[in-house]
Structure 1
Amino acid sequence: MDFRKLQIFLCLADEGSFVGAAQRLNIAQSAVSIAVRKLEHELGIVLVNRDRRATRLTEEGLLLEARGRELMNHAATVEQQIAARKELMSGTVSISSPSMLATYYLPELLSTFLDAHPGVTASVTQVGTEDTQKALLDGETELGVIVAERCAPGLLESLPLKQERLCLIVTELHPFAKRAYLRLSDLRDQPLVVYEPGYFVRDVLDQLFAAQTFSPDIRVTTNFLPLILSMVRKGVGATVGVGLVAEEETDLRAIPIVPRIDVNMVLARVAGRRISIVNHSFFEWVGKQSQKDASKPPHHIDSAGLPAN
């Protein structure tokens, strides 16, 4: 149905005459008559009873008037919503992210963006980096946090978020708590609480342990970060994560692992694929933030006493 013809018909219903509708719309009376006749032809019904004394809507015309006004109001609402998104007054930033970054890094990043755009909301889904990249490429998510090493060249566009060193996370009472650094061989017979395969940290551990002469003593496997930290605090085992964890969880200690292993997290999207206005705006905003942060020294664990590598 042509919205312009519907608008003319509704104006006719308001004014009660073809002359009044033409004057209100500032068009010729014949244009009003033609538009209404075309609308009747499209619908296959008579909408208006025409006589010299008055112009009255038929029963079908009255039905179209009621439903037509609902339709026009809905169209106006949609236009307002689209306009609001263009001005970034509404919409939802949707991101898939591994739990550590979602817990310790994204809150500050998202809160800054949301404070600047009060009508915008955020939805964060906890997903491992491997599954996030697959979801991006399959079109199941528009934005995802992955590691730079898994950013498919030519397929994904990415922005740097955070670089962190891989560490063993322990309690203050753990035998390793005072150590300046640890080698992987130090983890022989060390109970561990780790992520499931598909999370970058777990996949790196599996690769590293594959080159060792011993197998890791994995006591608990879960992707639920609060459970991992609770198990560490209860002495079930240590976990492997980034130094940022110990910064936020002040009762825990982060012992760097040598040789040094860095985790470079990036915000990624599929290159060249259109995404929602609000997600696109957030991606562009993160890019500007990354440029501002480029001159700042990266966070690192105190390296005093660490081997050069």
Structure 2
Amino acid sequence: MDLKKLRYFVGVAEAGGFTRAGEQMNVAQSALSLHVREMEDSLGTRLLVRDRGGVTLTAAGSRLLHHARIILNQVSIAEEELTSNPKTPVGEVSVALPSGPARFMAPELLNMANERFPKVSLKIVEGMSGSVEEMMLAGRFNLAVFYTMGDDNSRYDILAEEEFCLIIPPDSPPFENVVSLDQLSAYPLAVPMNVTSVQRAVADVAKKNGILLDVRYEIDSLSTIIDMVADGKAYSILTPSAVQRETSLGLIRTAKIINPSISRSVILAANARDERSAEVAAIRGLLPKVVRQLIKDGRWQARLPQPERLRPG
């Protein structure tokens, strides 16, 4: 038996005769008759009873029809899965983004996804980086963007590198564009909660360099921290992406931290359960393109990772 013979047999059995099956399948009646006869010879049993009214199934023919339908259906499913167009995935994908970059990443991601993958529905969740990381580890999202420090990023796709800045109230010192790490202790700070990578990163570097930071407020809300700085109630230590809009409006200022600088990796994590999901793979592959476009256009003050640090997406 082969698939062609099975298809012809099913066609004749369902049509009730060779003539009608030939018309429906656009195959010569003689060819159909020959293939069915070859199957009968190969199996050593009669499958169809031919008469003037058409054909009827024998007991063996009925059993074969049952199995043939199952076989052909499974083949059809396999062909559909293996030959489906990867550029047109279908389904819902949840993506968690940190509050700062979400301001410009979300619109760009939505635009690109809608253009390239119109059948994928995106569910975007915004939160502080530490919260995003915790929820991702709990399996709450398909994909998540958050921050890590150091070089232990082998499990993730590295999207970009950011450096921290001192966030300054308008018309307040320092008035330079850079500030040394050992000067940070002079400024009362409002920073994200201790569970976030921002606080951990800055605290670790400051401690290693013998600097004691004046942390007055720990707040789990980026907008509240920015408002406090804009109102002159505190300073903060964040990355430029978190305050890009307010900086452009003149509501706050930034000074790059140097001697040493403090940087972090922006990484993309994928839920292990979604390794075979075409729609998740599509959005996972799209996110690095979103980041590159934002950096290229100057909408994100970050730098792309060095080639040797890139992970396959």
**Aligned: 1:169 with 2:170:** no
Distance 1:92 1:183 in 2: 46
Aligned pairs (5 A) from 1:256-267? 256-259=255-258, 260-267=261-268
Secondary structure of the structure 1 residue equivalent to 2:164? strand
1:194 corresponds in structure 2 to 192
Range that drifts further, 283-292 or 258-267:
283-292
- Structure 1: which 5+ runs fail to align? 1-10, 29-75, 302-309
2:217 corresponds in structure 1 to 219
Aligned pairs (5 A) from 1:10-21? none
Distance 1:106 1:220 in 2: 26
2:157 alignment partner AA: S
**Aligned: 1:113 with 2:110:** no
**Aligned: 1:239 with 2:236:** yes
Contact 2:159 2:291 in 1 (8 A): yes
Distance 2:274 2:121 in 1: 22
Alpha-carbon shift at residue 221 of structure 1 (Å): 1.5
When residues 202 and 148 of structure 1 are mapped into structure 2, their CA distance, relative to the original with a 3 A threshold, is closer
**Aligned: 1:248 with 2:249:** no
Please tell me the root mean square deviation across aligned C-alpha atoms, in Å: 5.6
Report % sequence identity.
Answer: 17
Alpha-carbon shift at residue 286 of structure 1 (Å): 3.8
Alpha-carbon shift at residue 140 of structure 1 (Å): 4.5
Distance 1:203 1:262 in 2: 12
1:234 alignment partner AA: D
Alpha-carbon shift at residue 273 of structure 1 (Å): 6.8
Cα deviations across residues 88-122 of structure 1 (Å, max 9, x unaligned)?
25323322232112223343244223233333222
Cα deviations across residues 118-153 of structure 1 (Å, max 9, x unaligned)?
3322222335258627835x6554322133536745
Alpha-carbon shift at residue 158 of structure 1 (Å): 0.7
- Structure 2: which 5+ runs fail to align? 1-10, 26-31, 33-76, 303-313
2:98 alignment partner AA: P
Distance 1:209 1:172 in 2: 25
**TM-score (normalised: structure 2):** 0.57
2:281 corresponds in structure 1 to 280
Secondary structure of the structure 2 residue equivalent to 1:235? coil
1:142 corresponds in structure 2 to 142
Alpha-carbon shift at residue 272 of structure 1 (Å): 11
**TM-score (normalised: structure 1):** 0.58
1:204 corresponds in structure 2 to 201
When residues 292 and 219 of structure 1 are mapped into structure 2, their CA distance, relative to the original with a 3 A threshold, is closer
Contact 1:188 1:216 in 2 (8 A): yes
Q: How many equivalent pairs are there?
A: 277
Alpha-carbon shift at residue 168 of structure 1 (Å): 1.6
Aligned pairs (5 A) from 1:29-44? none
1:182 corresponds in structure 2 to 179
